Amino acid sequence: MGVVAWLPIPNHTILLPGPAVNTADQVDVEGHSRPEDRGEYLISTVYQRPATTWWALRALLQSDWSLVASDPERPRSQTSVYEDPEHQILRRVVYHTCGIEPSVIVSVLDLTADSPLKGRVEPGDRVISVAGVPLRMVRQVREIVQSQPHGEKIPVEFRHPDGQTYRVETVARPIQGLSGERGLGLLLSGHEDDDNLPKIRFRSGSYEGNSSDLVLGLDLCERLLNLNLRRGRRISGSGGLDMEGSLTSVRGLRQKFSCARQAKADLFFVPIEDAGQLQGMDFQASHPRIVPIRSLSEAIYWLQRAKP
């Protein structure tokens, strides 16, 4: 009988509540401290263990344990292949949510054979401004050139890779391949300049996966906006983020809810599409209160409007 109890159940895993992780120990933004408040953000975690007959029987008796099919395409030892361990998506979403956009560096890839700047500009040089207008995106060059009077000289400021700047003046001319449209004959590329963005640092290690993105995002937005969203509340939840700031699906919400309850959280945010995992619970009366949302922005809006 004892041998039978420990027989493995192939392709299945037991999920059970893990410990809550305080985000204050997990993230830092250079030059931006979090507003003082007794409230906290808590990452709800889940333990996973290989399924055996014994653990499967226990999962039947405990409401916050689950026997689930393993994901064969996502082995735990290879999470970095399928996840975002550097939190690049989270960084981008947080910057965008807080109205912080990186500037774009516009550089010369090459010049056309009929470019009026041929021999005066080198590939690799950065375009700083055209007609006195600082560049923020590649398409500005065409728009500015087209707005200039015919035959008028256009000043263009460049910067060599060594940092030296120089200025040239030229008259736009019809460029082959542009249907006779006037241009400078520059083939350009643009990439974002992250150097001047607030530096976000992660000290991950107490949790796995990207389902912590929502709660980490709330903490980071507080710091960058200097806006107290906690107001004495202990806030937990689960949800990854896509590039648009919308929540992505997660599993193990019953285990994460139990983790949040054991940590005495007041609120538990969940992706609205996954709220069915908590079927049978009274979202308004449960403790913590369950709040289904669609995005990081919606969570911020909810926290601003709801009474503590």
Cβ-proximal residues to 238 (8 Å cutoff; 6+ apart), any chain: 44, 211, 212, 214, 215, 250, 252, 253, 256, 269, 270, 271
Tokens encoding 163: 């940092």
pLDDT for position 6: 67
Q: 185 near 18, Cβ under 8 Å?
A: no
Q: What is the mean pLDDT of residues 119-132?
A: 95
Tell me what percent of the residues of the chain surpass a pLDDT of 70.
90
Quick one: which of 16, 51, 69, 63 has its CA closest to 255? 16
pLDDT at residue 7 above 70? yes
The span from the CA of 280 to the CA of 164, in Å, is: 67
Q: Structure pTM?
A: 0.74
Residue with tokens 């391949």: 177
- Count the Cβ atoms, other than its own, within 10 Å of residue 135: 22
Is 155 or 181 the better-scoring residue by pLDDT? 155
pLDDT for position 136: 84
- Give pLDDT tens digits for 18-55: 999 999 989 999 999 999 999 999 999 988 888 777 66
- Give pLDDT tens digits for 208-248: 678 999 999 999 999 999 999 999 999 999 999 999 999 99
CB neighbour burial string for 75-88, b if at least 16 within 10 angstroms, e if fewer: eeeeeeeebbeebe
- For 256, phi then psi, to 5°, come to -70, -35
Number of H helices and number of E strands within the chain? 8, 20
- What's the mean pLDDT when you consider all of the chain? 87
Quick one: which of 235, 303, 292 has its CA closest to 41? 235
- Count the Cβ atoms, other than its own, within 10 Å of residue 89: 18
- Give pLDDT tens digits for 257-295: 999 999 999 999 999 999 999 988 889 888 999 999 999
CB neighbour burial string for 231-264, b if at least 16 within 10 angstroms, e if fewer: eebbbbbbbbbeeebbbbebbbbbbbbbbbbebe
Quick one: which of 92, 96, 141, 97 has its CA closest to 117? 141
Which long-range contacts does 78-85 make (Cβ < 8 Å, 24+ apart)? 79/208, 79/209, 83/209, 83/210, 84/210, 85/204
pLDDT for position 51: 78
- For 165, phi then psi, to 5°, come to -100, 150
pLDDT at residue 78 above 60? no
Cβ-proximal residues to 54 (8 Å cutoff; 6+ apart), any chain: 5, 6
Tokens encoding 258: 């139990």
Ranges 98-112, 142-156, 167-181, 246-260: which has the least confidence: 167-181
Domains of the chain: 13-100+197-305 (3.30.230), 103-193 (2.30.42.10)
The span from the CA of 164 to the CA of 134, in Å, is: 17
pLDDT for position 73: 41
